[in-house]
Structure 1
């Protein structure tokens, strides 16, 4: 089975994915890391040298490649992945995949991301928590349509990573 973790940046896709790997003995694949390995460049470098359209085409191709795996995998997607091309449809149609939207509130995301914004190119330029909250709200408004198509929605607010991982395991 392929467990596909979907959600906004900071929702816990990577950290909860690591918890699930330990509990389920699955392999963890981060799509962005996979793309960087295949393309021999960072996501940032790909955007800068080849542009977003090139990146999004590669992202879709590598997603399709990973959705065909016949092993137990936790697949952590980039926050924008489900929102481009036919990516969400590919995930929903993949016969061995289960999609889970890690849903966090705007406030919780802003609290978490304000401390790590320097490491996140999309938000590094944002000065204040109020601006960040507004930015996240706008993005979530655009993306929730895609995220909500996931087979399961797990609210992460006020839960530990361990509690979220346990809830996901119970869904399986």
Structure 2
């Protein structure tokens, strides 16, 4: 799945009252911003982004006016089915196991770390006219619903619990 990160500066022109928030399950760190009317996933915030970026899934919510950049790296690659991952073009990739970051090569780890740092880079200082994810969440009363969705069989936490 293709992911794109943008500065946490959102231009909400209309429909602010239709913005809602949810998490996939109890204890999830990611918070989703959705359109309440149709449940379209707009963007995602995670504490690791340090308030500087939001994540978008162009497959769910196409981005207009911008040409997408080519994928630079992959994360959580051990959560992917091996046969599907093997068919993809080669890119640096990492996974977490035993609380540590792993990669096939040190170069892969460095490349993914560089991309991760870009997600946490300070936003543009000119934020006039824009709203942040956090401001929109506060404007919605801070309400975050939990969907109580089960984790997929390939998830890191499911695999870890089976290995115990």
Q: TM-score range by the shorter chain?
A: under 0.3
User: Per residue, is there more helix in 1 or in 2?
Assistant: 1
TM-score (norm 1): 0.26
TM-score (norm 2): 0.27
Structure number with greater Rg is: 2
User: Per residue, is there more strand in 1 or in 2?
Assistant: 2
